[in-house]
Amino acid sequence: MNEIDPARRFSMDAVRNYDAPADGGKPGGINDVARQVASQYRRDTMSPIMVSGVLRMVEFAVLFLSGLGVYFYYVGFFSYLAWQYPLAIAATSFLAVVLLDVTDSYQIAALMRPLANFGRVLLVWAGSFALMALTAFAIKASEDYSRLLFGTWFVVGFVLIFGLRLVMSRLIRRWARDGRMERRALIVGGGKAAEQLIRSVEKQPYNDIRICGIFDDRNDKRSPPIVAGYPKLGTISELIEFARIARIDMLIVSLPLTAESRVLQLLKKLWVLPVDIRLSAHSNALQFRPRAYSYIGSVPMLDIFDKPINDWDSVAKRAFDIVFSLVGIVLFSPVMLATAIAIKLDSRGPVLFKQKRHGFNNEIIEVYKFRSMYADRSDPTAKQTVTKNDPRVTRVGRFIRKTSIDELPQFFNSLFGSLSLVGPRPHAIAAQSHNLLYNEVVDGYFARHKVKPGVTGWAQINGWRGEMDTNEKIRMRTEYDLYYIENWSMLFDLRILFLTPVRLLNTENAY
């Protein structure tokens, strides 16, 4: 049979456009037991990918600095530093880290068992030296290097990285035991299939998955209330609220791929969450090539959706926000100071206006703006959209809203971490259109919150800013926001950031 591409079968567009017969994915209130379980997991966890990534950098630094230390010990700290020595030390250190990565020595299972991987680490370190020596021989430079110096570094470097791995194994075990380093997972769908999946996952030694519960729409006769010792905590719709409270990392759907309509119906509800969604292929009759699967231990999974802007991407984006927020604060500080004085002279009340809005994962955040309305007529809930010539807006307010100067204090939101510089614009919690909340107008509206909201965004530079007075405008803004989430890159962020001042010259929809 021809192989089916799971990514094409369950594309984002297919899920969003699927005509689900159920409730359209509206989250439901969870029961007391589920809420109590969810509250136990409110603390953020460390990503195993981040831990192993940081260890790569630390081990490179340890090897490189130990090599330099040995060099300075033999020749003296204030002596001439021959360029070929630090170059060779850096190249050997980098090669060792690469080879450790290639041999899976940075996998959590390997890090938790350093003694079992003693030979592998020693072989990699020796291989790195052998390749360095072979390269030096090939370029006829071997006579330039001290055998005693590099022999000493071989011993010192290995003792240091293996000692580091012994310490890391203790730390990782402690973090796993305390629930600080784990991937929290929920099983979607119960019964025999879920039980087989759970048993298979639990058999895997040193896996970092913590199963937090089971959610299934079926009644207790078709789906038992307890499966393999794990309780069924509610329905699929209730899962959404639970996943947000418990900061779930992964949803594992324990349904066969052949039940395509049922899988699509579930994904229609679940795709709004900022989580990895995997389809268990443990008992699947359809077989794909090995590279089509990801694995939890030896349990095969089909990757349906990945959490956007995750792990190292999130680190890069946070660094981007900090750097450019500081630049923005410095550049616009004269404008912000002048605006604060003008607001004070124009009307009574505070300079800043603080509004509660939806942030990442639907969490409530407080966003800063320059006050543009009369203090006694302000609308913190944003139930009434600001319109052209709105009498609630002050004289200074009209100018700063039209030029978007009122948004400048959000550089501080971005610097402190509640906003990103670029992302979907955060809307007020009670923002409405024709007496309907935005999430009642747009199906899947809360998928905008799969990433941190931004000071500026793809929708804004494409003209969808200002008054949202029609349902179509809300839908279009949401479509542009979802496009940004699905196509994010650092270059995309830079493009949006640098286009923002140009596009702000169009003030047609800004009141």
Specify the domain boundaries for CATH 3.40.50.20 within the chain: 6-17+182-307
Percent of the chain with pLDDT over 70: 81
| Rounded alpha-carbon distances, angstroms, from residue 336 to 48, 343, 351, 397, 417 | 42, 11, 10, 13, 20
Q: Let me know if 322 is exposed, middle or buried by CB neighbors in 10 A (0-12, 13-18, 19+).
A: middle
Give the range among 206-215, 282-291, 439-448 with minimum mean pLDDT: 282-291
pLDDT given for residue 156 in this prediction? 94
- Residue 340 banded pLDDT, cuts 50, 70, 90: very high
Q: What pLDDT, on a 0 to 100 scale, did the predictor assign at position 4?
A: 41
The predicted model scores a pTM of: 0.78
Banded pLDDT at 47 (limits 50, 70, 90): confident
Q: What is the DSSP string of 359-410?
A: -GGG-EEEEEEE--B-GGG--TT--S---TT-TTB-HHHHHHHHTTGGGTTH
Q: Read off the pLDDT of residues 203-215 as tens digits, 9 standing for 90 and up.
A: 877 677 888 889 9
Residue 316, token pair as written in the block: 């890069």
Summarised one tens digit per residue, pLDDT across range 356-397 is: 888 898 888 999 999 988 887 776 666 666 767 778 888 888
pLDDT band at residue 143 under the 50/70/90 scheme: low
**What is the predicted pLDDT for the residue at 2?**
42
Give the model confidence (pLDDT) of 461-484 as tens digits.
888 776 666 778 888 888 999 999
Residue 305's SS3 state is: strand
Residue range 29-33: mean pLDDT, rounded: 79
pLDDT tens for 17-30 read: 666 554 544 555 78
Split at pLDDT 50, 70, 90, the class of 317 is very high
Average pLDDT, the chain: 82
pLDDT beyond 90 at 177:
no
Note the CATH number of domain 6-17+182-307. 3.40.50.20
CA 48, 244, 477, 419 torsion-angle sign: negative
Q: What is the mean pLDDT of residues 135-161?
A: 80
Percent of the chain whose pLDDT exceeds 90: 31
